[in-house]
Amino acid sequence: MTQGVILPGATLGVLGGGQLGRMFVHAAQTLGYFTAVLDPDADSPAGRVSHHHIRADYEDTQGLDELARLCAAVTTEFENVPASALRTLAQRIAVSPDAHAVAVAQHRAREKAHFVHCGVPVAPHAVIESPAQLAAVDAALLPGILKTATLGYDGKGQARVQTPAELAAAWEQLARVPCVLEKRLPLSLECSVVLARGRDGTVVSLPVQRNLHRNGILAVTEVFDGNLPQTITQQALAAAESVARGLAYVGVLCVEFFVLQDGSLVVNEIAPRPHNSGHWSIDGCDVSQFELQVRAMTGLPLAAPRQHSPAVMLNLLGDLWFAHSASAATPPWDAVLRLPGAHLHLYGKREARRGRKMGHLTLTGATPEAARATALQAARILGIDAF
């Protein structure tokens, strides 16, 4: 469905009630929109701050009907929302990103094929969906990482394998579901591009972000001039735009990359939504990734974000609540907030659990050195490993 610009005063919907939905809701409300969240959790972080919370499953016919009745446009906050729900909504209201783009992002094999079609470099890989494909795997792909084709995120659904025997055992352990085997490459660092693409094809992006992952979960993002070689940033921006253009994408898209030790760049994966690595933009840019999400879905002009402060973002996992005790205890936020340029964002989750994303902390400064030094101070206070 196509339509004109949707001005403030209308109601915007989001499928998913987690922290990304919560920050989308805040951005939409700041611009003057009403909001509706569809999420089955009665205590979802986004549902508790939205004007409307539809407590229903993502494929519930009545829930989708109510969302379509309330809203002028709908987006999603996580890629595992059923593409069928987006197709149903698109018959009545504007939906971005569309079902096709989300379906590609939900399936690693389709995702890899799309990258290849766009001329974007990817790691050597093989699709494994049958015993015959397993037996035919080229030994040159080992050692590698076996990943489930669907439903894998934050390091879940993955296994490192060294030999054909380990590969076969890992596939058995993953219940023989469709998988992709990726060759392990000598990595230098990781980075990501968060961009927004409008209905008219306009593309704007945040500065390229340098990322550090621990145990498959983003730990630190650093964004400032010189955080990456200029050749890498140019290649990453061009590749990300090519991926978005190939999908006829509308909305906010994150493209994650590996930088290899020889200086070359390969695409890892995409996320059809705002991304953890772009959270710093709330405090370090004049337009955040969540405002870009609102602008793209409503047809408002896409203003190119301008970074006004060097920034370092620390991901806050539930482990911090257990740093000094077997039972959950509130971390020393007062000590953290004494630091200059400290911006704390907690997601409204009532229970801290190890590995659960509870919030993020962005440290801004007048210089990259100042932002990084303050971030290291914050990490020491919280008991986060140095970076």
Record: fold of 124-183: Dna Ligase; domain 1 (3.30.1490)
Tokens of 350: 């009532």
Domain ranges of the chain: 11-95, 124-183, 187-382
Residue type, 341: G
* pLDDT, tens digit (0-9, with 9 covering 90-100), for 208-243: 999 999 988 999 999 999 999 999 999 999 999 999
* pLDDT, tens digit (0-9, with 9 covering 90-100), for 331-385: 999 999 999 999 999 999 999 999 999 999 999 999 999 999 999 999 999 999 9
CATH class, range 187-382: alpha beta
Tokens of 83: 């593409």
Inter-CA distances, 221 with 7, 193, 264, 284, Å: 33, 12, 20, 12
* Separation of alpha carbons 128 and 107, rounded Å: 13
Q: Give how far the C-alpha of residue 357 lies from the chain's centroid of Cα atoms, to the nearest Å.
A: 13
* pLDDT, tens digit (0-9, with 9 covering 90-100), for 100-146: 999 999 999 999 999 999 999 999 999 999 999 999 999 999 999 99
CATH class, range 11-95: alpha beta
* pLDDT, tens digit (0-9, with 9 covering 90-100), for 290-332: 999 999 999 999 999 999 999 999 999 999 999 877 888 999 9
* Separation of alpha carbons 317 and 290, rounded Å: 21
End-to-end CA distance of the chain: 46
Q: Write out the E strands in 184-337.
A: 187-197, 203-205, 209-214, 217-223, 251-260, 265-271, 311-317
Tokens of 177: 């579901």
* Separation of alpha carbons 15 and 37, rounded Å: 6
* pLDDT, tens digit (0-9, with 9 covering 90-100), for 237-289: 999 999 999 999 999 999 999 999 999 999 999 999 999 999 999 999 999 99
Q: What pLDDT is stored for residue 287 in this prediction?
A: 98
* Separation of alpha carbons 81 and 66, rounded Å: 17
Q: What pLDDT is stored for residue 80 in this prediction?
A: 86
- The secondary structure of 244-271 as a DSSP string is HHHTT--EEEEEEEEEETTS-EEEEEEE
Mean pLDDT for the stretch of residues 66-71: 98
